Chains A and B, each alone.
Chain A
Amino acid sequence: MEILQAGDRVRYANGGTALTGTYITERDGMAVIKLDNGYNIGTSPEKVELAERAAPQSPAGAGVVVQNPDLPELSIVSTGGTIASRVDYRTGAVTSQFSASDILRAIPELGSIARYRDRQIASILSENMRPALWQELARAAYAEIRHGTSGVIVTHGTDTMASSAAAVRFMLKTPVPVIFVGSQRSADRPSSDNAMNTLCSAAVAAGDLGEVAVVMHATTNDDRCAIHRATRVRKMHTSRRDAFQSMGMAPLGHVDYPSLSVTLSDEAVRRGTGEPELRDALEERCGLLHFYPGMPSSILDAFEGYAGLVLSGTGLGHVATEWIPKLREMIEDGTTVVMTSQCLHGRVCDRVYNTGRDLLSIGVVEGEDMLPEVALVKLMWVLGNERDTERAGVLMQTDLAGEIRRRSI
């Protein structure tokens, strides 16, 4: 029997009825056929026979989109987050689009904001991100800035976008906007938030901001995007469009849609502040541990030899009293231990209760109001650049990139 290929015309019988359709694939022991009415159905592969071999597909959607040379140039750096996709209705496959031309075809309004260069550094799901890729991302953004781009748009899967944005923020000093953007609802759906988020991010990237930020839906409405500081943003919902929230501060501004007018707060760093600078060293031997009641201290053995450990502690910043001896050992062996809170809102204070005081006395560093993930990324960067643990501890408590708020409000 001939091996069927996607796109082949096939015949098969369902009950007594002869059907024709297009062969899609074989999955979990079932042949998937697209019937001529557009529906897919699954059937036993042995019932399916070839009617006509698929004609070779002509290369899809060719054609380069002409861009307006009078507009500023922006760089799109893609990591795998889908901001544009295309559906093959013949087979039902949805493919991600990364080239500037493909993105412009999918979201033509982008063409009236800027010209675009594209650079793809990865094509991964964001849970597969890792520090080495953060470094590549920072280098790519730096190279684009050096090249003279007016702004950088980084497309990213939303799961770990906040960590990547924070990492780039610590490694890169930028006078132009570096905007992370993603979409919560798949790009193939007409309701996707991809187009609006991308348009808003382009508006910010071409605008007056001068720092690393995340631009995503501000509400469930298609009315505005919020601009979040890279070191104070967190994904706070699994699926909603407005999952990204600024924590412990108001967003840096917003973009109205569809007007794309950008409003920045006084706090937002403006374009042209400082010179581009890249310090891309990271100490990857750092960990983050979420404490739970009853968690055995032996878990700490897994972090033996680590240069740094962020604890996501309870309340004001606690772990069980019985952890103290083991933590002391680790700190004595040179591990920097930073305390943050799993409350996410509020500041760590280990001076109120005994456990906290004990933690301080053995050398645990209070992580102020830093988000646990941000503290981890920062610790990697600090330890990558500062070998002295005492000075590293001081740096951890110093606001380097907007990650620590001077006051809690």
Chain B
Amino acid sequence: MDYTELGLKAGIEIHQQLDTAEKLFCRCPTLLRDTAERTGEFYRYLRATESELGEIDRAAEEEMKLVRKFCYYTYDTVCLVEHDEEPPTPMNPEALEVCLTIAKMLGMTPAEQVHTMRKLVIDGSNTSGFQRTALVALSGALPDGCRIETICLEEEAAQRVEDETFSLDRLGIPLVEITTAPCMHTPEAVQEVAAHIGMVLRSTGRVKRGLGTIRQDINVSIRGGARVEIKGVQELDLIAEVVRREVERQVALLAIRDELRERGARVDHTVVDVTALFSGTASSILKKAKSVLAIRLSGFAGLVGREIQPGRRLGSEMSDYAKKCGVGGIFHTDELPAYGVTAEEVARLREFVGAREEDCVVIVAAGRERAGCAAEQVMIRAEMALSGVPEETRKMLEEGSSAYMRPLPGAARMYPETDVFPLDISEALWESIAVPELLTDRAERFVREFGLDEALARQVAFSERLPTFEKAVAAGVRPTIAARTLLATCRELARGGVAVGQVSEDEILALLSAVEAGRAAKEAIPDLLTELARTVGAVAGTPRERVDTAIGKMAPAVSQADVESIVRRIVAEREEFAREKGMGALGPLMGIVMQELRGSVDGKVVSESLRRELKHLLS
């Protein structure tokens, strides 16, 4: 596709959790919990508040279509603030500092005074019915000339457990939201910008890592299409694909619109009760429904079933709208007969509603009220097809397609959080914010200063173990040993089933120092880590004591004299071989000696001793 020709405009919003000790507006730890650890449950209803103009925000109103009861899981790491039973504390200064750090790294200008707002969100993910959010800084630059509009500091929402049940452990974790201008024009550019911002965020060393800690929302529009926001893209590698598929969808919807217009298609606003037609049907859904309603879409035949995105049809969009009323989905004649509905039943349905060949008939089956609501929604979505692409908030599906979530929120959804005082960002505070080195710069420095190869340097810089690496190097450990241990060795052990993640940073540092001090050989590191992992919780002691115990067990110290006597014995036992191979015997004999020493001695020491012994023998 020619994205320039299509007039693609895309922007992203990146949501990144911060790794602070406490939450943004209470003093709870920012700990995620297993739902099995919950200490209780409670439930609430949410209702939209009328605005001054008698309007309810359209996104909020959509959520209100169903009167929903929300259930919340609570934990011993959650307090009354998350329960919406206590006013918030002042904004967590640590979170503000991290946010300002990121703003500074992105070349932004802070607001003179930060005001916390309440943003209405009544999908249940916030117990209060709003999310607290504050605009902290504006207008930053990106390398490719793209612009960042704003950075906001906000509360993370509660995690959905299932349907209307949420877990409160995540609610209130500080989050930065970075919004770019719609300044990207290819799917790849969107992915690159997301990668760059992600790198900047990780450069602070103060953001949470792992699945779900960073989420991208992508805004996409094409010429003649509409702004669509796709929420919750977690994998960076999928971003370009999501953009490609959304462009594809908008192009397809515009083509459908043109064809509908050409055909003179229209939405017939009469809903026909066809329950009786299906009284003897083999379709279990239709059979058990109290009410089956049909909507005739004149001139829509073939288009409702047309694919607009891999795995998605116009009918899927109608179905998403209908689901807001609590129905399971819809049937339409572009896909029937199927699902137990016979060709005869389809023919009778068509006849009953007076559908011509070029018409499509959509049916919904549910209780009377829900079916009526769903039929209404189908007509609304069908009307939209006549005018092209609706502005929507969508959620990403696996593989990068998307489904309708709700209309784009209007501006009418924010008002001040009066329980939190405004905060001044003084010049002194802004000046005091130190800008950390970018991870990309750091990787280059590791190549330069430590002689790491480029790939390893980059790996170290971007690794979660970067802080451990830096501490080790600062303690005098050779960078290559530190890097290989923290990346290669730990990864290999983990792959082999060793719980190396359980070994504390202090123990790893103590181990590396022991190697550096010659108390253990670097070859013994895998065995020692394995032993440390095995004895977590079983063998007590300070990190240094635990490391020494492990060395004593796995690789007892061997003196230089011991090494020499072992080398002498092994060379003597294989004298014939040594004489035959000459210095070429060094490699094979090295293996035998090291095996005997079980890595208690640095290979370099062994190899020197062996070389001396061989020279002596051969001279």
**Smallest Cβ distance from B116 to chain A, in angstroms?**
9
Chain A residues whose CB sits within 8 angstroms of the CB of B42 once the complex forms: 219-221
Residues in B with CB closer than 8 Å to A189 are 49, 84, 118, 128-130
CB proximity of B155 to chain A, nearest CB, Å? 14
| Interface size of B in residues (CB-CB distance below 8 Å) | 54
Contact B150 A37 (CB under 8 A): yes
Most buried by B among A60, A61, A190: A190
Return chain B residues, CB-CB under 8 Å to A106: 49-50
Contact A42 B109 (CB under 8 A): no
Is B112 within 8 A of A42, CB to CB?
A: yes
Per the 8 Å Cβ criterion, residues 276-295 of A in contact with B are: none
Distance in Å from the Cβ of A193 to the closest Cβ of chain B?
9
Complex contact A38–B52 (CB within 8 A): no
Alpha-carbon separation in the docked complex, A16 to B130 (Å): 32
If A87-B415, A190-B46, A191-B127 touch, whether A44 touches B80 (CB-CB below 8 Å) is no
Are A92 and B85 within 8 A (Cβ)? no
Interface residues of A in 28-55 (CB under 8 A from B): 28, 30, 32, 35-44
Q: In the bound complex, do residue B112 and residue A43 qualify as a contact, i.e. CB atoms below 8 Å apart?
A: yes
Tell me which residues across on chain B come within 8 A of A195, comparing CB atoms: 47
* CB-nearest residue of chain B to A237: B85
A357 at the interface (CB under 8 A from B): no
Contact between A43 and B87, CB atoms less than 8 A apart: no
B109 touches A90 (CB 8 A): no
> Knowing A38-B119, A41-B135, A221-B43 touch, does A190 contact B48 (C-beta < 8 A)?
yes
Smallest beta-carbon distance A44→chain B, Å: 6
Residues from chain B with Cβ under 8 Å of A223 in the complex: 43
- Asked if A190 contacts B139 (CB within 8 A), the reply is no
Q: How far, in angstroms, from A240 to B84 measured CA to CA in the complex?
A: 8
> Which residues of chain B have C-beta atoms less than 8 A from A159's C-beta?
none
Q: Is B144 in contact with chain A by the CB < 8 A criterion?
A: no
Please count how many residues in chain A sit with their CB below 8 Å of the partner chain's CB atoms.
52
Chain B 41-77 near chain A by CB (<8 Å), digits 1 or 0 = 0111111111111100100100000000100000000
Contacting residues, chain B, for A40 (C-beta < 8 A): 115, 117, 135, 416
Q: A61-B53, A191-B129, A241-B85 are in contact. Are A39 and B46 (CB under 8 A)?
A: no
A27 to B416, CA, bound (A): 13
Chain A residues whose C-beta falls within 8 Å of the C-beta of B122 in the assembled complex: 190
Separation in Å of the A60 CB from the closest CB of chain B? 5
Binds A, one of B291-299, B406-414, B526-534: B406-414
CB contacts (< 8 Å) of A300 on chain B: these are none
Q: Are B53 and A42 in contact (CB-based, < 8 A)?
A: no
B390 at the interface (CB under 8 A from A): no
Cross-interface CB contact of B114 among A36, A41, A85, A88, cutoff 8 Å = A41
What is the chain B residue whose CB lies nearest that of A32? Answer: B115
A190 B49 Cβ-Cβ under 8 A: yes
State how many angstroms separate the Cβ of B378 from the closest Cβ of chain A.
Answer: 26
Contacts of A94 in B (CB 8 A): 415, 418
Whose C-beta in chain B lies nearest to the C-beta of A57?
Answer: B52
CB <8 Å contact, A86 and B49: yes
In the complex, A232 Cα to B164 Cα: how many Å? Answer: 38
Chain A residue numbers with a CB within 8 Å of B424 are: 30, 42
CB-CB under 8 A from B109, the residues of chain A are: 14-17
**Contact yes or no, A220 B83, CB < 8 A:** yes
Asked whether B51 lies within 8 Å of A191 as measured between CB atoms, the reply is no
CB nearest neighbor in A for B415: A92
The reply to whether B50 and A42 contact each other, CB–CB distance below 8 Å, is no
Task: Contact check, B111 vs A239: say whether CB atoms are below 8 A apart.
Answer: no
The reply to whether B46 and A191 form a contact with Cβ atoms under 8 Å apart is yes
CA of A15 to CA of B50 in the docked complex: distance in angstroms?
A: 36
Task: Let me know if A19 is at the binding interface, CB within 8 A.
Answer: yes
Contacts of B570 in A (CB 8 A): none
> Pick the contact of B52 from A37, A90, A221 — CB < 8 Å?
A90
Residues of A within 8 A of B115 (CB): 32, 39-42
B-chain residues with CB within 8 Å of residue A63 when the two chains form the complex: 54
What distance in Å separates the Cβ of A24 from its nearest Cβ neighbour in chain B? 9
Note all chain A residues with C-beta closer than 8 A to B111.
14, 41-43
Q: Give B86 Cβ to nearest chain A Cβ, in Å.
A: 5
Chain B hits for A28, CB < 8 A: 422
Q: Contact partner of B135 among A27, A39, A90, CB < 8 A?
A: A39
Find out whether the CB atom of B50 lies under 8 angstroms from the CB atom of A86: yes
Tell me the residues in window 136-152 of chain B with beta carbons closer than 8 Å to chain A beta carbons.
138-139, 150, 152
Quick one: which of A14, A17, A39 has the most chain B CB within 10 A? A39
* CB-nearest residue of chain A to B41: A221
A191 and B54 contact, CB distance less than 8 A = no
Minimum CB–CB distance for A101 against chain B, Å: 12
Question: Is B114's CB under 8 angstroms from A240's CB?
Answer: no
A222 on interface, CB distance cutoff 8 Å? yes
Chain B residues in 8 Å Cβ range of A42: 111-115, 422, 424
CA distance A105 to B47 in the complex (A): 13
Do B139 and A15 have beta carbons less than 8 Å apart?
A: yes
Q: What residues of B have a CB within 8 angstroms of the CB of A238 in the complex? A: 86
- A30 and B426 alpha carbons, distance in the complex (Å): 13
Q: Indicate whether B318 reaches chain A with its CB closer than 8 angstroms.
A: no
Asked whether any CB of chain A lies closer than 8 Å to the CB of B134, the reply is: yes
The reply to whether A86 and B46 contact each other, CB–CB distance below 8 Å, is no
Measured CB to CB, the nearest residue on chain A to B74 is: A220
Report if A179 contacts B (CB, 8 A): no
B120 at the interface (CB under 8 A from A): yes
Question: Are A185 and B112 closer than 8 Å at their CB atoms?
Answer: no
Q: Is the CB of A87 within 8 A of B47?
A: no
B401 to chain A, nearest CB (A): 28
- A61 and B52 contacting across the interface, CB-CB below 8 Å: yes
Residues in B whose Cβ lies below 8 Å from that of A41: 111-115, 135
Known contacts A190-B122, A190-B129; decide if A89 and B415 are in contact (CB<8 Å). yes
Whole-angstrom CA separation of A196 from B45 in the bound complex = 9
Contact string against B for A residues 56-97, beta-carbon threshold 8 Å, 1 for contact and 0 otherwise? 000011010000000000000000000001111110111100
Assess whether B139 is in contact with A14, with CB atoms less than 8 Å apart.
yes
Asked whether, in the complex, the Cβ of B411 is within 8 Å of the Cβ of A89, the reply is yes
When the two chains form their complex, are residues A188 and B416 in contact, meaning their CB atoms are under 8 A apart?
no
Instruction: Give Cα distance in the complex from A220 to B418, angstroms.
Output: 23
Which chain A positions have C-beta within 8 A of B45? 196, 222, 258
Give the CA-CA distance A92 to B130 in the complex, in Å: 14
**A86 with B85, Cβ < 8 A, contacts A39-B115, A189-B130 known:** no
Tell whether, in the assembled complex, residue A190 and residue B120 are in contact, meaning their CB atoms are under 8 Å apart. Answer: yes
Closest to B55 in A: A89
Provide the residues of chain A in CB contact with B413, threshold 8 Å: 38, 89
User: Within the assembled complex, what's the spacing in Å between the Cα atoms of A195 and B50?
Assistant: 13
Structural contact, B112 and A16, CB atoms closer than 8 A: no
Q: Knowing A190-B48, A191-B46, A221-B43 touch, does A38 contact B84 (C-beta < 8 A)? A: no
The smallest C-beta distance from B385 to any residue of chain A, in angstroms, reads: 30
Known: A92-B415, A92-B416, A94-B415. A222 touches B43 (CB 8 A): yes
CB-contacts of B61-109 with A (<8 A): 69, 80, 83-87, 108-109
B49 proximity list for chain A (CB < 8 A):
85-87, 106, 187-190
Within the complex, what minimum Cβ distance (angstroms) separates B18 from chain A? 19
When distances are taken between beta carbons in the complex, the residues of chain A under 8 Å from B119 are 38
Instruction: Tell me, in angstroms, the Cα distance from A326 to B112 when the chains sit together.
Output: 59
Bound state CA distance, A139 and B139, in angstroms? 60
Q: How far does the alpha carbon of A240 sit from the alpha carbon of B117 in the complex, in Å?
A: 22
Chain B residues within 8 Å of A258, by CB: 45
- Within A165-223, which residues are at the interface with B (CB < 8 Å)? 185, 187-191, 195-196, 219-223
Q: Shortest 8 CB-CB distances between A and B: which pairs?
A: A190-B129, A42-B113, A15-B109, A38-B414, A88-B52, A39-B135, A40-B115, A17-B139
- Could you list 29 examples of A-B contacts with CB < 8 Å? A15-B139, A28-B422, A30-B422, A37-B150, A38-B119, A41-B111, A41-B114, A42-B112, A43-B111, A43-B112, A43-B113, A44-B112, A61-B50, A87-B49, A87-B50, A87-B415, A88-B52, A89-B411, A92-B416, A188-B49, A189-B129, A190-B128, A190-B130, A191-B84, A191-B127, A196-B45, A221-B43, A240-B86, A241-B85
- Additional 12 contacts, C-beta under 8 A, given A41-B114, A42-B422: A17-B109, A17-B138, A38-B117, A39-B117, A41-B112, A93-B52, A93-B415, A94-B415, A188-B118, A189-B129, A190-B122, A258-B45
